[in-house]
Amino acid sequence: MTRRRRVLITGCGIITAAATGMEAFFDALAAGRSGLGLIQRFDTSCLATRVGGEVDIERLSPPPPLFSSQIWNRPRDTKAFLAWEALRQIIATPGLSPETALISTVGLERIDLDALIAATAAAEATPGAPPPEPICPEIPLTQLPGLLWRAAGFTGPISIQAAACAAGTIALGTAFRAIRAGSCDRIVAGGVDSLIFPYGIHAFNSIGALSERNEIGARALAPFDLKRSGTLLGEGAAYFLLEEEAAARARCAPILAEVAGYGASMDAHHCVIPDPTGRGAAAAMRAALADARLTPDSIGYINAHGTGTPHNDAMESRAIFDVFGEYAAMLPVSSIKPFVGHLLTAAGAVEAAASLLPFARGLLPPTLHFENPDPACKLDVIPNVAREGRPQYVMTNSYGLGGQNASLILSAPASLTGLMGGR
């Protein structure tokens, strides 16, 4: 049998409402410190949901001048600021080749609703005028990854991943498989997203996905809890440096984890609601286990998608029991969305970063605001306080609108005995 190339995670840059940078992010998870709160960036009085995971972009270093050129003239492009902050934590890595590839997610375009309403009124006042196009005040996301890479001085190929809330995990899985297959030795993969703007929040209110319990603030997001009422949106970015083993050895790179397996599937059920049987989610988990050549009882922790919506959490619980059987009742599970909000296309990348906490500090991140166990979610949900644990393998799951499912399995650096001089 041909030896499969090993793929290591040797770097991660991250920014969320809870913290910026890996160590600060780990600190927030360990301390149970949520970044959710009342949104301050704009007037939310017209919105049913007024709580989210907002990043103070005013404190961030601006992206290079390329982003404020006459072409774009948008110096406060939220996603550009977030992506640049996460990427700059990686691109200074010693020995990182300019030919390194980038795989990044694509989220929902921001629409300036007030400008669109004004343009619509103007068009209606002019007989025969065509209807106005939606007005996007930020860089189109199909252009953003190229601008980021160009600004960093990198010339490697770029791939854009559009798969809704599963996109971040799919980006990492795609990078993993490309490196393992020998297509390249290094890839930066991850994503950025933000729906902290009126149209974005209203769009998710319109499909019933968001909690409207503004009076209890961050506690409104309570995954797997019997009284859960919906998710809350956030914003942020996370990018990883993935490398083939020999390439990492050549630079004496630090090792955060090994990517052990990846699986994906499609529900083909509904444009918004996940398949309630959990068959698609279970198929992705089984595919990841098969790819990693592991049995279900090898997994010591699951970082769940855990959106806090009635549909998702019940479905995900059913899928975990389908795959893990009786072992599911004793398998630690948590969702970190109460720390940062739902980051949509960037969610999988940020949650993969949280999945490194057990390897880095021997702690399993908790599910904040979990107080009332739901009989439909009979999982070992880690409540409110980080739990000690050093699993060999962890799984992180992402499920996107439209039924896109992805599961990634990470292995502790301890499995790399003898690599990097016995590190």
Question: How buried is 61 (Cβ within 10 angstroms: 0-12 exposed, 13-18 middle, 19+ buried)?
Answer: exposed
Could you tell me whether strands 332-334 and 299-303 are parallel, antiparallel, or unpaired per DSSP bridges? parallel
Give the pLDDT confidence score for residue 216 in this predicted structure: 97
Structure-model confidence comparison of residues 5 and 109, the more confident one: 5
Q: What is the pLDDT of residues 21-53, one digit of tens each?
A: 999 999 999 999 999 999 999 999 999 999 999
Spatial separation of the C-alpha atoms in residues 402 and 405, rounded to whole Å: 9
Is residue 309 a part of any domain in this protein? yes
Q: The tokens of 235 are what? A: 């914003």
Q: Domain of 325: which CATH number?
A: 3.40.47.10
Q: The tokens of 22 are what? A: 């890996």
Q: What is the pLDDT of residues 200-246, one digit of tens each?
A: 899 899 999 999 999 999 999 999 999 999 999 999 999 999 999 99
Structure-model confidence comparison of residues 91 and 262, the more confident one: 262
Is residue 174 a part of any domain in this protein? yes
Spatial separation of the C-alpha atoms in residues 111 and 259, rounded to whole Å: 37
Is residue 311 a part of any domain in this protein? yes
Residue 159: which H helix or E strand, with range?
strand 158-161
Give the pLDDT confidence score for residue 422 in this predicted structure: 35
Residues that are catalytic: 165, 305, 342
Is residue 422 a part of any domain in this protein? no
Spatial separation of the C-alpha atoms in residues 161 and 183, rounded to whole Å: 18
Question: What average pLDDT does the structure give for the chain?
Answer: 90
Structure-model confidence comparison of residues 353 and 110, the more confident one: 353
Of 225, 147, 189, 230, whose CA–CA distance to 7 is shortest? 189
Q: Could you tell me the pLDDT band of residue 290, with boundaries at 50, 70 and 90? A: very high
Q: Are 161 and 176 in contact (CB under 8 A)?
A: no
Q: Are 399 and 318 in contact (CB under 8 A)?
A: no
Q: Which domain holds residue 311?
A: 7-413
Q: What is the pLDDT of residues 145-199, one digit of tens each?
A: 998 898 888 999 999 998 889 999 999 999 999 999 999 999 999 999 998 988 8
Give ∠ CA 205-43-14 in degrees, rounded to 5. Answer: 70
Maximum alpha-carbon separation in the chain: 75
Is residue 303 a part of any domain in this protein? yes
Give ∠ CA 175-181-185 in degrees, rounded to 5. Answer: 60
Of 196, 213, 218, whose CA–CA distance to 346 is shortest? 196
Percent of the chain surpassing pLDDT 90: 71
Give the pLDDT confidence score for residue 166 in this predicted structure: 95
3-state SS string over 29-78? Answer: HHHCCCCCEECCCCCCCCCCCCEEECCCHHHCCCCCHHHHCCCCCCCCCH
Q: The tokens of 24 are what? A: 């600060």
421 sits in the region (left: phi over 0; alpha: psi -120 to 50; else beta) called: left
Is residue 2 a part of any domain in this protein? no
Of 207, 198, 257, whose CA–CA distance to 395 is shortest? 257
Structural domains counted in the chain: 1
Q: The tokens of 358 are what? A: 């057990």
Q: What is the pLDDT of residues 359-371, one digit of tens each?
A: 999 999 999 999 9
Is residue 384 a part of any domain in this protein? yes
Q: Are 408 and 261 in contact (CB under 8 A)?
A: yes
Is residue 201 a part of any domain in this protein? yes
Give the pLDDT confidence score for residue 414 in this predicted structure: 59
Of 21, 193, 212, 175, whose CA–CA distance to 106 is shortest? 193
Of 116, 312, 76, whose CA–CA distance to 196 is shortest? 76
